[in-house]
Amino acid sequence: MIYFIFAYFCLATLGISIMSLTRKNPVHAVLWLLLLFLHVAVIYLFLNAEFLAMVQVIVYAGAILVMFLFTLFLLGARQLPKHKRYTSILEGRLLIGLSITATLLAVFSSIKAEYSGKYTIKYVHDVGNTKAIGAMLFNEYSLAVLILGVILLIPMIAVSVLAWRRKDDTS
């Protein structure tokens, strides 16, 4: 039974990403992206990553998608001029993409999980997924969390600067 559910989510994820990447209307693309994030969150649940699934839904589906939609509505997605959608395929970009795909598939199909850490499924189940991740975050990766705070602060300032500069600019 679990195999059928997993197969559905695999195929649905692939189909949804194709749909989201080929839509002409950017609003439709962003809405398909929302569906993709929800499906990926369910695949995280298959992998015993409940906290990450929740973060995925809250941060990606809740915050980043809303940011995308705000941008689209600020631009006025319907008034965008109609251009050609793709660059000329013969420039070799598609070839680069396909070769990277082939390399990734060749590498990923030969990876074996030989290393085994101490966070077994039973341990994580006993402690609790969120607590295990939180302990790892604030003990071993505490400096990285601080740097992450700076990384989130700087874009905030940058976005404010970009928005403020519009007043005295003659555009």
Partner 1 sequence: MIPLEAYLILAGLIFSMGLINLLINRNLIIVFVSLEVMLAGVNLALVALSHYMNDIRGQVLAIFTIAVAAGSVAVGLSLLIAHFNLKKSVDTEEIRELKEE
Q: What distance in Å separates the CA atoms of residue 102 and residue 78, rounded to the nearest whole number? A: 37
User: Cβ 146 to partner 1, closest distance in Å?
Assistant: 12
Complex with partner 1: residue 86 or 168, whichever CB lies closer: 86
Alpha-carbon torsion angle 51, 52, 58, 64, nearest 10: 160
Q: What distance in Å separates the CA atoms of residue 117 and residue 136, rounded to the nearest whole number? A: 13
Complex with partner 1: residue 80 or 126, whichever CB lies closer: 80
Tokens of 150: 């700076």
User: Cβ 168 to partner 1, closest distance in Å?
Assistant: 14
User: Cβ 126 to partner 1, closest distance in Å?
Assistant: 13
Q: What distance in Å separates the CA atoms of residue 157 and residue 160, rounded to the nearest whole number? A: 5
